[in-house]
Amino acid sequence: MASSKKPTRFRVVGKAHRKVDATAKVTGVTRFADDLFLPRMLFAKLLRSPHPHARIISIDTSKAAALPGVKAVLVGKDLPIPFGILPVSQDEHALALDKVRFVGDPVAAVAATSEEAATEALDLIAVEYEVLRAFPDALDAVEHPEPAIHDYADAGNIHKLIHLEFGDVDRGLAEADLVREDLFFFEGNTHLPMEQHAAVADWSPPPDGKLTLWSATQTPHYVHRALAKVLELPAARIRVIACPNGGAFGGKSDPFSHEIVVAKLAMITGRPVKITLTREEVFYCHRGRHPTLMWVKTGVKKDGAITGMHFKSLLDGGGYGSYGVASTYYTGALQTVTYHVPRYKFQGARAFTNKPPCGPKRGHGTPQPRFALEVHLDKIAEQLGMDPAELRLKHLVPPNSLTANWLRIGTMGLGPCIEKVVRGSGWKQKFKQLPYGKGIGLACSSYITGAGLPIYWNAMPHSGVQLKCDRGGGVTVFCGSTEIGQGSDSILATIVAEVLGLHPFDVAVVTGDTDLTPVDLGSYSSRVTLMTGNAAIQAAERARDVIARHAAKKLETPIERITFAEGRVFDVQEPERGLTFAEAVQLAEAAEGTVGTVGSYTPAPSAAKYRGAGVGPSPAYSYSACVAEVDVDPATGIVRVPKIWIAHDVGRAINAATVMGQIEGSVYMGLGEALMEEMAYRGNRNVVHKIPSLLEYKSPTTLEMCDVVTYVVEDPDPNGPFGAKECGQGPLLPVPPAVANAVYDAVGVRIDEVPITPEKVFKALRRKEKGEAARFGPARFPDIAWPEPTRVAPPWDGGDGRAAEGGRGRKKAAEGARR
Amino acid sequence: MADAKAKIALELNGEPVEVAFAPHKTLLEVLREDLGLTGTKHGCELGECGTCTVLVDGTPVLSCLVLGLACAGHRVKTVEGMAERGTLHPLQEAFAELGAAQCGYCTPAFLLAAEALLATDPSPTRDDIKLALSGNLCRCTGYIKIYEAVELAAARMRGEDAKPAPETLYGVQ
């Protein structure tokens, strides 16, 4: 997709650039959603359920509506059309219709002239509930199908059941020299962006009938679709503007109740309406990491070569679908992309429970199985008497290959990543050689650079860019991508500047506005640099071609010799013969009219054709290796992490400084998940959130954050723009297992569960003292009535990427694509 | 709601200002809603995250926990007061240069907390910086670029011709 005329030396790409929005951010000028104040604006508040699971018998809003200052009150029947991010789980209502499914589920909404009046009005709304039995966790939901949380599910309270088998795993295990089984648990945790969600809606009444919504969203295109559906407005009359997000990490990628509610309130009142969630409400929005119970059985030869792997996961989904079906597939998709797995079987289940819905958090469904796999391999290495780094290095997936589940691997830089962290950390002098209490652990990972398929089935590009060249020499790039702090606006400016020979600050960037910008699917699945980057290259090259044509004519030079650099358009063999970029644009504009171009990007079709193959394929996979050093206090179980070495294969850094920031930020978030972050609920059927506050939800402060040594590995991938792959999510993944492996090296106990809290370490140490299993972790995986497997022969068994039996892969291809 | 408005005078970003507001309002609300200075952010409005940090008489305070009324006659500084005559403060410059502002939401608070630190200690150690910023949460950066930016700005404010280390921007080679 990228240019055939790729420059071999870059002028802009690869250097450390100040981001195009850096000045606005350090001066406080950036306008986040809650910074918008419109004349006559009303303030909205949501009444939320105090019960985890209940039927709504009646709602009386008359007293609230009569309160001075209150302009409108909404309940579920005012917005009866369901929505949800995935076509297969349209199971949410803006306000509960007849049932609430978690403490915090929105039930009614008020718009008033002040936040105080709206809050007071909430207290005057009388809701009568019939309380139902609540389900506090996935095990309970699996074992009790009634009362059903939803009227749709694969079985009882099991939302989704998956069973995929690639080759004969039993045969693979029979060929092994060692077969090992392990159980792991990854506790749920949340994104915790510093910005609370906020949205402002404005309505221009008929005959315009136009709605504008500003929101802290990562996915304006999907919000656009949800608003059109629920409000029954033509999409052409709805404008969604994604404000810069004050942190998101996946937590702002669903269409939300509060966005639909303020839109409806603006339509009813004819006034702008704002809502800003409290921090407590942000915990109720959640969509964070699924708590996941995992069982893994792997067969290996004496040299560590894997002969077969069987992986089971059980996800605690919370009250709604969200991205959960995709999350469930993701817990089984990427086990095959790091080390060669010739035969692979995956069984995944997601249960509905009465907690805030889980969804995509940084790494979406893959940090949990990666934790399990990397600790499991550490144990296998020990049993085989192999160095864990050597075991991994010996069995890397080859570049340019297909995996057992038909994922197409391009460049694969994991080997150099492992070598860098091993050398940098002094691994060989430290592993198994540090004094008791000190330890070192290694883990690796991989992540997708964008999902190969869109969330809803369609044949259109995933990313579009428009470019306008101004006769003054400036260029504006329009793209639907959303700046969430990752630097996506700067990526666009950098890439356009590289192609057109400009400075990134010469490029104006307009993003995330459904009226102004072509669709980009959103800032999720680490897709933005690759997809918008390729679209931007295409648009910029088309503009370059138009401008070059007229510059060549003017300079009387063959067009092949026209070069763009330093704001000039010139003859590469006689650089003094040239024009300014502005002059060249003027020539093109005089001859052909306004200079504007478009570019778009669609990933190549996946090799996988079976049902469920919508999750896993990607244009490119990033790779990371991590070594963590820990200090464990055996007296208290407290684990401190002084230092982490991380190497990340980013393909090619577009902006070196933002790559560093993404890697360090990923390590930070992985460290939080490893040591302390958890969504905890009170241990009874009330299922009340224990800690909906920033004080009680522990996240690393400056005092807990470790030192980080970062190595950027560049192995340019032909599918990436100038070779770039992702770096915003992948480097999180190896951190929790590296810490767990280091704890074992330090004190000889296995903590098969994150977060690795002092209590767990202490208990495991006590067990070890008593001669019991030196371990803390789950004890069983429940019996689940799995469906018959979808059997797909791996490439080396002569398969074609389709399912062998039942035709599920053929008949339901479109459904399989819905992820 | 029906409260009569209170009126106070204070020094805001070096200028005398008078402002009238409902007397129950916090300094955070007065700044954002009554003075239109939305550079000061909020993450919890409970005093837990540090995101609303401003300087009152040079000391970092959580503006969500301070009543607007309590600021009568005091000097308040917000992020809008850091750049002077179109020139960024060295801290702002270093934060922008190193990418210490990712989403930028916690950035105003970190800048002001760091400014207060450098006002009392022009040569802080890494541990001094960690301690001074330990009341501010950032979810994007892992704090590392923030430490490096404070160190870079401190060096420049001491008159040194400091440049970022290559491994800060490009990693270890």
Q: Which CATH number is A235's domain given?
A: 3.90.1170.50
Mean pLDDT of A112-133: 97
Angle at which helix A656-675 crosses helix A735-747, to 10 degrees, equals: 50
Q: Are residues A203 and A295 in the same domain?
A: no
The per-residue pLDDT for A808 is: 47
Cβ within 8 Å, pair A694-B48: yes
Mutation target vs B (from A702, A703, A713; most B CBs, 10 A cutoff): A702
> Rounded to a whole number, what is the distance in Å from the CA of B82 to chain A's nearest CA?
8
Number of domains in chain A: 3
In-domain check, residue A530 = yes
pLDDT category of residue A684 using cuts at 50, 70 and 90: low
Instruction: Indicate the class that CATH gives domain B6-79.
Output: alpha beta
A341 lies in the same domain as A423:
yes
State whether A484 and B103 contact (CB < 8 Å).
yes
* pLDDT score at A688: 78
pLDDT band at A4 (very low <50, low <70, confident <90, very high): very low
Residue A764 has pLDDT above 90, yes or no: yes
State pLDDT tens for residues B112-169: 999 999 999 999 999 999 999 999 999 999 999 999 999 999 999 999 999 999 999 9
Structure confidence at residue A691 as a pLDDT band (50, 70, 90)? confident
Question: What pLDDT is stored for residue B3 in this prediction?
Answer: 65
- Domain range summary for chain B, segments of one domain joined by +: 6-79, 90-163
Task: Say whether both A550 and A621 belong to one domain.
Answer: no
The per-residue pLDDT for range A28-44, each reduced to its tens digit, is 999 999 999 999 999 99
Say whether A660 and B103 touch across the interface (CB within 8 A). no
Q: Residue B67 — pLDDT band, cuts 50, 70, 90?
A: very high
Which amino acid, residue A267?
M
Report percent pLDDT > 90 for chain A.
95
CATH number of the domain encompassing residue A575: 3.30.365.10
> Mean per-residue pLDDT for B74-97?
98
| Tokens representing residue B153 in the block | 């700005």
**pLDDT band at residue A689 under the 50/70/90 scheme:** confident
Q: How far apart are CA A389 and CA A277, in angstroms?
A: 46
pLDDT, average across residues A299-326: 98
Whether the pLDDT of residue B91 is over 90: the answer is yes
A661 neighbors B141 (Cβ within 8 angstroms): yes
A734-745: per-residue pLDDT in tens? 999 999 999 999
Mean per-residue pLDDT for A140-150?
Answer: 97
**DSSP label of A616:** S
Mean pLDDT for the stretch of residues A228-234: 98
Q: What's the pLDDT score for residue A686? A: 73
Residue at which a domain ends, from A556, A581, A601: A601
Position A73 in a domain: yes
The candidate with the shortest Cα–Cα distance to A409, out of A623, A600, A611, A613, is A623
Q: Look at the domain B90-163 and name its fold.
A: DNA polymerase; domain 1 (1.10.150)
Q: Which of A35, A69, A694 sits opposite B137 (nearest CB)?
A: A694
Nearest neighbour of A712 by CB, restricted to B88, B105, B171: B171
Q: Does residue A555 sit in the same domain as residue A596?
A: yes
Say if A206 falls within a structural domain: yes
Length of chain A: 819
Closest chain A residue to the Cα of B92, Cα to Cα: A26
Q: Is-contact B36 B58, C-beta < 8 A?
A: no
**Residue A162 reports pLDDT greater than 70:** yes
Are residues A350 and A232 part of one domain? Answer: no
Residue type, A595: V
Q: Tell me, yes or no, whether A578 and A626 share the same domain.
A: no
pLDDT digits (tens, 9 = 90+) for A254-273: 999 999 999 999 999 999 99
Q: What is each CA distance from A802 to A312, A613, A796, A813, in whole angstroms?
A: 22, 9, 14, 10
Q: Copy the structure tokens of residue A79.
A: 């917005």
Predicted local distance difference test score (pLDDT) of residue A90: 98
What residues of chain B lie within 8 A of the CB of A34, using their CB? 38, 42
Residue bearing tokens 């429940």: A782
Which of B119, B125, B112 lies closest to B151, judged by CA?
B125
pLDDT given for residue A100 in this prediction = 98
pLDDT (average), residues A537-557: 98
Q: What per-residue confidence (pLDDT) applies to A813?
A: 35
B51 closest CB neighbour out of A29, A194, A693:
A194
Is residue A118 predicted with pLDDT exceeding 90?
yes
Q: Please tell me whether residue A295 adopts helix, strand or coil conformation.
A: strand
* Residue of A15, A18, A26, A713 to mutate when probing chain B, most B C-beta within 10 A: A26
Instruction: Indicate the range of A7-11, A111-115, A544-548, A683-687 predicted with least confidence.
Output: A683-687
pLDDT at A814 (0 to 100)? 36
Looking at every residue in chain A, the average pLDDT score rounds to 96
d(CA A720, CA A643): 31
Q: How many CB pairs under 8 A join A and B?
A: 196
Provide the residue range defining the domain that includes A679. Answer: 162-190+288-386+413-453+610-776
A336-345 pLDDT tens trace: 999 999 999 9
The CA–CA distances, whole Å, from B22 to A273, A400, B8, B64 equal 21, 66, 11, 15
At A680, is the pLDDT very low, low, confident or very high (cuts 50, 70, 90)? confident
Peptide bond into A356 cis (omega under 30): no
Partner-chain contact B43 A194, CB within 8 Å: yes
A75 lies in the same domain as A221: yes
Check residue A389 and give its pLDDT: 98
Q: What is the pLDDT at residue A692? A: 87
Cα separation, A424 vs A412, whole angstroms: 20
Residue A9: predicted pLDDT:
85
Q: Is the pLDDT of residue A98 over 70?
A: yes
Percentage of chain A beyond pLDDT 70 is: 97
Q: Provide the 3-class DSSP secondary structure of residue A663.
A: helix
Pairing of strands A158-166, A790-792: parallel
Minimal-distance CA residue of chain A relative to B167: A710
**Which of A245, A693, A711 has the CB atom closest to B103's CB atom?**
A245
Cα separation, B140 vs B90, whole angstroms: 22
Q: What does the pLDDT read at residue A8?
A: 60
Contact A487 B99 (CB under 8 A): yes
| Ramachandran area for residue A646 (φ above 0: left; ψ -120 to 50: alpha; else beta) | beta
A312 and A437 within one domain: yes
ipTM associated with this complex: 0.98
List, in order, residues 6 or more apart from B135 with CB less than 8 Å away. Answer: A701, B50, B53, B60, B113
Q: What pLDDT score was predicted for residue A812?
A: 38
Higher confidence at residue A817 or residue A537? A537
In a domain, A614, yes or no: yes
The yes-or-no verdict on residue A805 having pLDDT over 70 is no
- Does residue A802 sit within a domain? no
Helix (H) or strand (E) holding A43: strand A42-48
A562/A677 same-domain check: no
pLDDT (0 to 100) of residue A819 = 32
Interchain pair B103, A711: CB under 8 A: no
Region A116-145: what's the mean pLDDT?
97
A493 and A427 co-located in one domain:
no
pLDDT(A144) > 50: yes
Q: What is the pLDDT of residue A690?
A: 77
Rounded Cα distance, A752 and A378, in Å: 12
Element (H, E) at A590: helix A581-592
| A575 and A502 part of one domain | yes
User: Would the pLDDT of A5 be above 90?
Assistant: no
Partners of B103 on chain A (C-beta within 8 Å) are 25, 193-195, 244-248, 484-485
pLDDT at A809: 41
What's the rounded mean pLDDT across residues A288-317? Answer: 98
- The single-letter DSSP state of residue A249 is T
Interface touch B39/A27, C-beta < 8 Å: yes
pLDDT at A806 over 90: no
Claim to verify: residue A281 and residue A300 sit in the same structural domain = no
Contact check, Cβ <8 Å, B131/A24: no
